[in-house]
């Protein structure tokens, strides 16, 4: 049982981030469909984080009541910045870029996230990098390869793959719905959004050190993001009250799904994983969402797969493996350092027996009348 528990603890971070990528992939497909139906991307951001706040807040109140630290000005400012970086800036730019392009293109462009996160983590010393060590070189090369694979998957289509489960009548069902009129504009928005997202992940890792209540932090980020996002939405959609209307349709599904899965649960899981594996580990899996979108869209939406995109996906997996290999070596090295420090501390503690204790005690003479303590020259 101990062996199985150990394996479970080791695989838990991997399973968590992989499931997150499946969640992000579903969000991209559902949100793109809602945006194509005319939903405002700014309103979607507000509804998304409002739903996340309502879902996460009760759990935070119950489970974090004993571990929730006292709110300080420094923590409050960090939470305001966290709510601005990802829920407001990144999400508005992400959905705007998706509206100008497609779900697959957006997810592919988001693969610059690991590179940004790696650079930020390196700058803020949250990631150990030694150019002379092989595992550090693997992390650097793996990040570059993953981004290169994403670009290959996006820019080079190659010949179309004839898959047996795709009907010929539906070959372009999803592609025709996607708008590719402004790919450069969309790419710029998505890239800036990823830059903000990477900064959010690094700041979240820093904030968790002084505010280790993950559920409470998640609820506060979503609440602040709702307020700040509402300000942006009101400014961008001024005079257009109709965009706030929502019914039992894809728009509501996009808001609820993305709020619960991709804001509420995702922020919490990211925080938990970052405590043990670091921010780069969390972002290193982001290329998987693009692969998931490409595969599932071919099944569900009958989207065409191209050879270039398949090759790009393989390159991404290779780069991802290099990053994870480097991270695993870091983990082993860290564990060995801790064990060596512990053994050195034990060696430095002198062995003290009862004889040593007694023989080194100096006898004193207590004069009760004068309240003086007089040492003697005798030893036991």
Q: How many residues does the chain have?
A: 380
Contact 43, 121 (CB under 8 A): no
For the chain, the straight-line distance linking the first and the last C-alpha, in angstroms and rounded, comes to: 53
Lowest mean pLDDT among 296-300, 335-339, 368-372: 368-372
- Comparing CA positions, the residue from 97, 120, 118, 117 lying closest to residue 107 is 97
Give the global pTM. 0.74
Q: Does 380 have pLDDT greater than 60?
A: no
Tens digit of pLDDT for each residue in 321-335?
Answer: 787 788 777 666 655
Q: Mean of the pLDDT values across residues 158-183?
A: 58
Place of tokens 């564990």: 335
Q: Does 20 have pLDDT greater than 80?
A: yes
Q: Name the token pair of 169.
A: 């009548």
Strands 305-306 and 372-379, sheet pairing: unpaired
Contact 180, 154 (CB under 8 A): no
CB atoms within 10 A of CB 22: 15
Q: Mean of the pLDDT values across residues 283-306?
A: 73
280 vs 342, which has greater pLDDT?
280
Burial 96-128 (b: 16+ CB within 10 A, else e): bbbbbbbbbbbbbbbbbbbbbbbbbbbeeebbb
Q: Read off the pLDDT band of 174 (50, 70, 90).
A: very low
Total H helices, total E strands in the chain: 16, 4
Q: Nearest-5° angle of CA 49, CA 50, CA 53?
A: 85
- Look at the alpha carbons of 171, 109, 90, 272 in this order and tell me if their dihedral is positive or negative: positive
Contact 379, 359 (CB under 8 A): yes
Tens digit of pLDDT for each residue in 25-38?
Answer: 899 889 988 988 88
Tens digit of pLDDT for each residue in 70-87?
Answer: 999 999 999 999 999 999
SS3 335: helix
DSSP 374: E
Contact 264, 132 (CB under 8 A): no
Whole-angstrom CA distances from 77 to 90, 274, 275, 353 are 18, 21, 21, 54
The C-alpha atoms of residue 273 and residue 13 are separated, in whole angstroms, by 6
The C-alpha atoms of residue 84 and residue 4 are separated, in whole angstroms, by 41
Percentage with pLDDT > 70 across the chain: 79
Q: Mean of the pLDDT values across residues 192-218?
A: 92
């Amino acid at each position: 049982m101990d062996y199985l528990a150990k394996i479970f603890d080791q695989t838990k971070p991997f399973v968590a981030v992989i499931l997150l990528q499946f969640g992000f992939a579903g969000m991209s497909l559902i949100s793109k469909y809602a945006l194509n139906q005319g939903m405002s991307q700014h309103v979607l951001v507000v509804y998304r984080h409002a739903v996340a706040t309502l879902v996460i807040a009760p759990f935070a109140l119950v489970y974090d009541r004993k571990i929730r630290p006292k709110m300080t000005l420094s923590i409050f400012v960090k939470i305001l910045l966290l709510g601005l970086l990802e829920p407001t800036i990144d999400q508005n730019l992400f959905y705007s870029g998706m509206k100008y392009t497609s779900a697959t293109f957006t997810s592919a462009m988001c693969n610059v996230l690991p590179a940004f996160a790696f650079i930020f983590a390196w700058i803020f010393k949250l990631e150990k990098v030694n150019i002379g060590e092989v595992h550090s070189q693997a992390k650097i090369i793996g990040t570059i390869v993953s981004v290169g694979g994403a670009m290959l998957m996006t820019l080079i289509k190659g010949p179309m793959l004839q898959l047996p489960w795709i009907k010929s009548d539906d070959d372009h069902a999803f592609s025709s719905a996607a708008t590719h009129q402004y790919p450069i504009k969309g790419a710029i928005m998505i890239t800036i959004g990823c830059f903000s997202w990477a900064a959010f992940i690094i700041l979240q890792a820093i904030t968790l050190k002084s505010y280790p209540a993950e559920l409470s932090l998640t609820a506060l980020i979503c609440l602040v993001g709702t307020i700040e996002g509402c300000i942006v939405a009101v400014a961008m959609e001024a005079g257009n009250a109709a965009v706030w209307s929502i019914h039992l349709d894809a728009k509501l599904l996009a808001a609820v799904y993305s709020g619960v899965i991709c804001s509420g649960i995702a922020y919490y899981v990211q925080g938990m994983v970052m405590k043990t594996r670091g921010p780069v580990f969390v972002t290193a899996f982001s290329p998987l969402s693009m692969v998931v979108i490409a595969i599932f869209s071919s099944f569900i939406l009958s989207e065409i797969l191209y050879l270039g995109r398949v090759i790009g996906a393989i390159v991404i997996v290779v780069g991802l493996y290099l990053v994870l290999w480097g991270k695993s070596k870091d983990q082993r090295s860290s564990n060995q350092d801790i064990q060596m420090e512990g053994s050195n501390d034990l060696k430095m503690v002198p062995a003290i027996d009862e004889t040593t204790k007694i023989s080194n005690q100096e006898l004193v003479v207590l004069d009760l009348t004068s309240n003086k303590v007089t040492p003697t020259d005798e030893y036991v």
